[in-house]
Homo-oligomer: A and B are copies of this chain.
Amino acid sequence: MKDIYKHGGNIKEVAKKYNLKEEEIIDFSASINPLGLPTGIKKTILRNIKNIIHYPDPQYVDLKYSILEYLNTEREVLSASNQGKLTDKNILVGNGSSELIYLAVYAIKSKRSLLISPGFSEYERALHNVNSKINYLILNEEDEFNISANDIIDRINNTDIIFLCNPNNPTGRIMLKEDIVYLLEKLQDTSTILVLDEAFIDMADKYSLISMLPHDNLYILRSLTKFFSIPGLRLGYGIGSEKLIGEMENFKQPWSVNQFADLVGQKLFSDRGFIIKTNIIIEKERNYLFDGLSEIKSLKPYKSYTNFILVKINASISSIILQDRLAQRGILIRDCSNFRALNDSFIRVAVRNRNENKKLLKELRSILI
């Protein structure tokens, strides 16, 4: 895999390289919920080991209905504009949101695309696979990496697909709902699809565009990986127009969501307690971590709307060296030097629990001050 496509979260590789036990590593590089697994998951897995001798349901009917139920409640809260009800024909489930990104690119057969940089590298990787001509909107550091709807609109030039991650990864910045609605209005009467990656929206759900669906130009991606701490299980879903979802189903490999992900997925949404608790802890700990990072003179954290923080290093130490020094102490952060439009002055850290955040701050201070 090319370096530009390398991700965080590879605990195994780091453990080997630094001669650590996997459980000794505190992982700030993947943005997983610090609460860990919701309580019901273990039981669901135990009960269903016997079921791995069967293929998963290739249509994932029950899983889709669980998602639908959750979405319709969410839409009511957000007072959906009655664009029509969502049905199972508007939903696609996938092996993490990665699969759903690739399916969009393959089904749309993208020829011209627009990416926002810095951004999640899998969009670019998928587009390269179909030889799409990529136009990049480079975000401005001076402007805190904010995304402007007009900047996107200026660059739509026969673009068939636009990827927009909100909150954006790795910046943590948010685009306001009205700005995205304005962008969508400009797309009307075109065939351009806005792929809105809401992988990190759970911690900022009032900014979700879910109430605008179904919409001919909008395809929303959701990941269950981060919020429910199940990156090892692989589960995400996409919501879009019947037409687009139908085309993607033609490209979808059967059974790509495994039996455990299917069954666990059906239980997750009903765990309201976990959802509320997560939102409380993330907000509190994000503030704590942000304040702590701000107090270190050579660091500049960017205000985040989700469970990770982009940080600029204003010192002579590079992100690569800083990552290495922290790894020696059992702390794994995301070196952002391989993100397009960033460089080796940037790192990304997940928001974790109080003790872990404290430890990160302490080690950062000892290295940087």
**A22 — which chain B residues lie within 8 A by C-beta?**
54
Q: What is the copy number of this chain in the assembly?
A: 2
Cβ of A71 within 8 Å of any chain B Cβ, yes or no, is no
**A233 — which chain B residues lie within 8 A by C-beta?**
52, 258-260
Cβ of A27 within 8 Å of any chain B Cβ, yes or no, is yes
**A2 — which chain B residues lie within 8 A by C-beta?**
250
Cβ of A219 within 8 Å of any chain B Cβ, yes or no, is no
Number of interface residues of A (CB under 8 A): 57
- B256 with A53: CB separation less than 8 A: no
> Of all chain B residues, which has the CB nearest A225?
B55
**A9 — which chain B residues lie within 8 A by C-beta?**
54-55
Cβ of A72 within 8 Å of any chain B Cβ, yes or no, is no
Q: Mark A34-75, 1 if CB is under 8 A from B, else 0.
A: 001100011001100111111111110110000000000000
- A10 with B57: CB separation less than 8 A: yes
In A234-292, which residues have CB < 8 Å from any B CB? 234, 249-251, 253-256, 258-261
**A12 — which chain B residues lie within 8 A by C-beta?**
57, 61-62
Cβ of A229 within 8 Å of any chain B Cβ, yes or no, is yes
A232's partner among B106, B122, B232, B259 (CB-CB below 8 A) is B259
A58's partner among B10, B59, B62 (CB-CB below 8 A) is B10
- A98 with B37: CB separation less than 8 A: no
Give the complex CA separation of A255 and B101 in angstroms. Answer: 14
- A53 with B258: CB separation less than 8 A: no
Cβ of A111 within 8 Å of any chain B Cβ, yes or no, is no
In A204-233, which residues have CB < 8 Å from any B CB? 229-233
- B129 with A250: CB separation less than 8 A: yes
Known: A232-B52, A258-B232. A99 touches B27 (CB 8 A): no
- A99 with B61: CB separation less than 8 A: no
- B251 with A234: CB separation less than 8 A: no
Cβ of A147 within 8 Å of any chain B Cβ, yes or no, is no
Known: A233-B259, A261-B258. A45 touches B49 (CB 8 A): yes
Min Cβ gap A111→B in Å is 14
A51's partner among B42, B58, B232, B234 (CB-CB below 8 A) is B232
A-B contact pairs, 18 of them (CB 8 A): A1-B249, A7-B55, A11-B54, A11-B55, A12-B61, A22-B54, A37-B52, A45-B45, A46-B46, A52-B233, A53-B230, A56-B232, A102-B253, A106-B129, A129-B251, A232-B260, A256-B256, A258-B258
A binding-site residues for B, Cβ under 8 Å: 1-2, 5, 7, 9-13, 22, 27, 30, 32, 36-37, 41-42, 45-46, 49-59, 61-62, 95-96, 98-99, 102, 106, 122, 129, 229-234, 249-251, 253-256, 258-261
5 tightest A-B CB contacts, nearest first: A232-B259, A52-B232, A9-B55, A55-B231, A12-B57
